[in-house]
Amino acid sequence: MAYMTNDEFIYFIKITDDSNEKYYMKSTIDEQNHTILIHLTNFKSSWVGVLDQEHVRILAKKFPSESNDSFYPHTQRAFSKGNNTNVDGKTYVFTCKKLDKNRLEFIWKEKIEALSSLKIIGSIELQERPNDEVLSKIMDYTINEMEILRSANEQKRTEIQRIDGQLHKALETVKRTVDIKEQIENDLYRKVS
């Protein structure tokens, strides 16, 4: 699910890491500043981190197969689709590794089918945050999305009703035209006969 404002894209995805633990991630991708704000929770604990341009440069050097220019869009695709979707022929896998009581390393990898292996795309250290803080941001996002969808749905219903009304009027016009045509034909046949 994605929500877009001017230069910002917000994605909310469910992730199952490689040890089958479920996480929910809200990533806010700021196109203008090239940052990705990550809110991650497994409902027992929550973490937050920011992936900025400097971090992207460091990761691109750490994983030389990715240039700085391709790394950010690649990471963006992974964060916007989750690990259950095949994106541009790419499948992503995520790992969450607890570093200590307050920190978690979030790692994203690309699945390379031809080699039956995983290629690490990047990682970021996330700091633990109060659960209610992260869950409230996720809930706010979800409620906002629901309101947007509800409003769009209502607009579509109104549009469907308007088009339905126009169709009904057009069908009435066609019926009247057919009736007039039949009346004119009947009149002509009577005159000719």
- Inform me whether the pLDDT recorded for 4 exceeds 60: no
- Do 27 and 41 contact (CB within 8 A), yes or no? no
What is the C-alpha to C-alpha distance for residues 149 and 139, in angstroms, rounded to an integer? Answer: 15
Per-residue pLDDT tens over the stretch 85-108: 555 667 777 888 888 878 888 888
CATH class, domain 13-129, is mainly beta
Which residue spans within 68-137 are E strands per DSSP? 86-87, 90-100, 103-112, 117-129
Q: Given the DSSP bridges, would you call strands 90-100 and 86-87 parallel, antiparallel or unpaired?
A: antiparallel
A 10 A CB-CB count for 26 gives: 23
Every domain of the chain and the residues it spans:
13-129, 133-192
Predicted local confidence at residue 1, as pLDDT: 46
- What is the Rg, in whole angstroms, of the alpha carbon atoms belonging to the chain? 28
